[in-house]
Structure 1
């Protein structure tokens, strides 16, 4: 009998990806005599139990997943030209026919679960001899595969039954992690739960909350409008995540749509377009206005394309100069970075750059203050779109989504970094949940589910406290 308190939570690659093009794992799809063996962490079905079949939707990413399912379920020889035609120019790896051998050995596969949106999806498949695996696919703006992960289906997560259990679970995670829960109803700042180091940590794309705040402030001041059009240029195109880097130069997109993509799919090109429209100094001023305790950690403010160039461009040649530079020296470094399209091979994204101060940094309290500030902006006429923008992808489990009446979210990641910040409401009460983790060994934070599951647990414990 299935434990009613278990659940599986999927975190798509694009959810928190700063460099999703660099995320391409084939853990269950490697060649060799050992690769066809069932992983110890996969689950075999009893011969008498037939799994129910699930249909993959006909979305942009669904078409590519359907193609993959056809490939792994056929014995027809594979053609390299056909395979290559399904991968976009930004994909770090283009598979070859032999890469599918280990999975094809487990035929027939049955599709038992699917979750996803238009550009990011995860399908679970199972077979009597091959066990159970998940295939997560991200597609680019042209509908071609940008990133893919094929891994054994994880064991169902059992939520923490108490705050004490949750504290123990967070302390046992592979990388140092902080997790905080604070009630912010009606101006409160009441700590509900806190574990881990709450000093400033690398926080990835959650820094985009401050860019959104700067946009709302500019609209309030009349220097920007939500329906104003911004132009995509090669000098502003960044690297994935996102899709706007695939738009032709000269394409016009409104501020509202650009801000929505910056938050909901962490679009880096959208972020840099907004930074260019605002000016970096306006974002730096927003750090103070939105309650960041030490803005100097992020001054001068880096656009996302600069993060890629500093951290992994030219084999990381700028890392030490940036780490040791004064603010003025860092501004000089930023000004000298190459213009035009960012051209960094996906194979360069191996070691974390955050130890060299190449990331963005914030405390849990900073992220909490930023979310509260944004909700205050959303109550004004000029800032009204902010609330919906934050809620486009609330990143809630099914259980939490049923109970919370509002969820706003921004996640972040880089190599060796994961973070998330949620603003949650149930009727007239509100909470902020934050999670940050980082490791000098990028493998320690390679599985987002390990770190986002405790945040989901915290949300369920909030519900438990309120409902008794």
Structure 2
């Protein structure tokens, strides 16, 4: 019997000349030249001001050196393309979209990943060490025993880690679902309690949401409202009990385990020396304050400039503190506990946002990620499966209590670490 020949592969869409023209004009904008208003559409300018764009462009130039070129790598449609931005000391992947209507203004420009051009893991380590403030990192191979460190710097030093603390909440959810105490489809009913900003902040009392959705939002987009709902649903004490179980060396430093709104209130409400009294109290006193005074304070009292002014706030005292080695062990625990059928849901949640540039993620079979940042604090933590099946964890933290951090540079260094670590 004759076989029907397979259809030829679909041809890649051709970029419209107007799209290529806008790509050719982009270097001038990235150097602080060109006409911003005549390049970007009104909708884009409403989201990103010229001042914000110029500040980010200057940060890229300061982090990666002179801009060398901008080139199209792939057209997704006549009006949408993937591009590569090359600097002297690194490169970025981005997407650009142009309005089909004349004068073909740019409606979207999104940086999807940054990576350095360091030649070795040792060079990455040197450049991490050269950043202002303090840094630490760990790269480890994971197997049947304890994680095996491949490279590290200050792996046992605790750092403020920002939203990477949400991995511990995720671990308690995995424990509870694996044990049969809960299921990923269990429903949570919102009770009208105060929530920080996020997707559930304005949801009415009585709204129901699954644990799966809350976990996905907490990890993939770092939704703070989803985080606090999970913290209170799963129970603070149970999450604290996970700290030694997942391998945290000094669990006492993270007790009581703060929710995001609690941290924001302690950092952002100056009246009556709230933070000072909290820090002076013992663990029992702190728990009492969280349940009473802190819970009762309205979120409206948090100063509006908190985190927006770029100034670090008590990052050495009021934070979540884990070492690079702690975070490696947490990722290893999650890996081990996602191998059973019930735990497999975890890998879907953890891989929604890979955290690193697509070309780097493509060097691995699977990438799981959670990071965290605020002024003076940054962390990136990765769980990586090689194409041959072996597992690795990579994590890095950067703290400076005196000044804001150059986040793009840090992202590029950690991305390059992940790229160089790929077998």
TM-score w.r.t. structure 2 length? Answer: 0.72
* Distance of 2:178 and 2:148 partners within structure 1: 30
* Distance of 2:210 and 2:200 partners within structure 1: 12
Matching residue of 1:195: 153
Matched, 1:460 2:416: no
- Check conservation: 1:178, 1:437, Cα contact below 8 A: yes
Following TM superposition, by how much is the alpha carbon of 1:74 offset from its aligned partner in structure 2, in angstroms?
8.2
* Distance of 1:279 and 1:75 partners within structure 2: 47
Query: Any residues of structure 2 matched to 1:18-417 within 5 Å, and which?
Result: 52-53=21-22, 72-73=37-38, 158-187=116-145, 189-196=147-154, 198-239=156-197, 242-314=198-270, 317-335=273-291, 336-339=293-296, 342-343=299-300, 344-349=302-307, 350=309, 351-355=311-315, 357-417=317-377
* Distance of 2:71 and 2:200 partners within structure 1: 32
RMSD of aligned residue pairs (Cα, Å):
3.8
**Residues 1:273 and 1:352: Cα distance change in structure 2 (over 3 Å):** same
Following TM superposition, by how much is the alpha carbon of 1:158 offset from its aligned partner in structure 2, in angstroms?
4.2
Following TM superposition, by how much is the alpha carbon of 1:197 offset from its aligned partner in structure 2, in angstroms?
6.0
TM-score w.r.t. structure 1 length? Answer: 0.65
Number of paired residues? 347
- Check conservation: 2:115, 2:357, Cα contact below 8 A: no
Aligned residue for 2:149, secondary structure, equals: strand
* Distance of 1:285 and 1:247 partners within structure 2: 30
Following TM superposition, by how much is the alpha carbon of 1:231 offset from its aligned partner in structure 2, in angstroms?
2.6
Matching residue of 1:33: none
**Residues 1:158 and 1:228: Cα distance change in structure 2 (over 3 Å):** closer
* Distance of 1:171 and 1:281 partners within structure 2: 36
Aligned residue for 1:413, secondary structure, equals: strand
Matching residue of 2:9: none
* Distance of 1:186 and 1:221 partners within structure 2: 21
Matching residue of 1:44: none
**Residues 1:366 and 1:196: Cα distance change in structure 2 (over 3 Å):** closer
* Distance of 2:36 and 2:192 partners within structure 1: 36
- Check conservation: 1:170, 1:195, Cα contact below 8 A: no
**Residues 1:75 and 1:319: Cα distance change in structure 2 (over 3 Å):** closer
- Check conservation: 1:208, 1:263, Cα contact below 8 A: yes
Following TM superposition, by how much is the alpha carbon of 1:176 offset from its aligned partner in structure 2, in angstroms?
1.4
Aligned residue for 1:436, secondary structure, equals: strand
Following TM superposition, by how much is the alpha carbon of 1:220 offset from its aligned partner in structure 2, in angstroms?
3.1
Aligned residue for 2:392, secondary structure, equals: strand
* Distance of 1:265 and 1:454 partners within structure 2: 21
Following TM superposition, by how much is the alpha carbon of 1:354 offset from its aligned partner in structure 2, in angstroms?
3.7
Instruction: Extract unaligned runs of 5+ from structure 2.
Output: 1-18, 24-34, 56-69, 75-81, 86-92, 96-108
Aligned residue for 2:269, secondary structure, equals: helix
* Distance of 2:71 and 2:260 partners within structure 1: 38
Instruction: Extract unaligned runs of 5+ from structure 1.
Output: 1-49, 55-69, 88-93, 104-110, 116-122, 127-133, 137-149
**Residues 1:74 and 1:276: Cα distance change in structure 2 (over 3 Å):** same
Aligned residue for 2:349, secondary structure, equals: helix
Aligned residue for 2:384, secondary structure, equals: strand
- Check conservation: 2:115, 2:411, Cα contact below 8 A: no
* Distance of 2:146 and 2:290 partners within structure 1: 40
